[in-house]
Amino acid sequence: MKSTSPSRPPRSSDKQRLENQLCFALYSTLLGVNKVYRSLLREFDLTYPQYLVMLVLWEKDRVNVSEICDQLYLETTTLTPLLKRLEARGLISRKRSVEDERQVIVSLTEEGRALRQQLRHVPDCLGAAMGGSLEDIVDLRNKLTKVRGRLFEAA
Q: Please, where in the chain does CATH 1.10.10.10 lie?
A: 40-118
The correct answer on CATH 1.10.10.10 for the domain covering 40-118 is: yes
Specify the pLDDT at position 110: 98
Share above pLDDT 90 across residues of the chain, in percent, rounded to a whole number: 83
Q: DSSP labels for 84-125?
A: HHHHHTTSEEEEE-SS-TT-EEEEE-HHHHHHHHHTTTHHHH
Would you call 92 exposed, middle or buried from its count of C-beta atoms within 10 A (0-12, 13-18, 19+)?
buried
Give 59-80 pLDDT, tens digit per residue.
999 999 999 999 999 999 999 9
* pLDDT of 24 higher than 80: yes
* 25-50: pLDDT as tens digits: 999 999 999 999 999 999 999 999 99
Global pTM reads: 0.86
- Per-residue pLDDT reduced to its tens digit, 84-108: 999 999 999 999 988 888 899 999 9
